Amino acid sequence: MKSLALASIVAGLLFTGAAYAQSGDDLLKSKGCLGCHDMQTKKVGPAYKDVAAKYKGKSGAEATIIGELKEGKGHPMKVSASDAELKSMVERVLAAK
Ligand code: HEC
């Protein structure tokens, strides 16, 4: 009985974790990035696959871009998102092909 209770607690935690962790894709949508960006095509802003190509092989690309988005430097507006959200979105952008 004890192990059953434990198993259900663990399952509950896993489930909660999954519900809160939003994927980069979800965040790009919910933060409105896709209003100006598309994975494949240039819109108001550059296509994410072009951004990924531009930064390919550059060290510190993720940190550079997160900085730009946070400060609104090299980006038309400051992006309001937590550090974890920014990281997840930028990782997704840099993985675009
Ligand atoms: C109002 C339109 C608009 C919105 C909304 C927007 N962007 Fe952009 N974004 C741009 C434009 C325009 C550029 C090109 C800026 C430049 O090159 O000077 C850009 C550039 C970028 C770049 C490339 C930066 C670089 O160093 O090359 C990334 C990455 C990016 N945006 C991510 C995002 C993310 C993530 C979001 C959502 C949180 C977002 N953008 C929302 C218009 C937008």
List the alpha helices (DSSP H) in 21-60: 24-30, 48-55
- 6 vs 92, more confident: 92
List the alpha helices (DSSP H) in 56-97: 61-71, 83-94
Domains of the chain: which residue ranges?
23-94
CA of 9 to the centre of ligand 1 (A): 41
Protein residues whose CB sits closer than 6 Å to any atom of ligand 1: 31-33, 35-37, 44-46, 51, 54, 65, 68-69, 74-77, 79, 89, 93
What is the pLDDT, as a whole number, of residue 73? 92
Residue 13 has pLDDT above 70, yes or no: no
Report the CATH number of the 23-94 domain. 1.10.760.10
What is the pLDDT, as a whole number, of residue 64? 97
Angle at 53 between CA 48 and CA 55, to 5 degrees: 95
CA of 72 to the centre of ligand 1 (A): 9
Question: Residue 46 contacts by C-beta under 8 Å, 6 or more apart in sequence?
Answer: 37
Condensed to tens digits (0 to 9), the pLDDT of residues 27-86 reads 999 999 999 999 999 999 999 999 999 999 999 999 999 999 999 999 999 999 999 999
Residue 4 has pLDDT above 90, yes or no: no
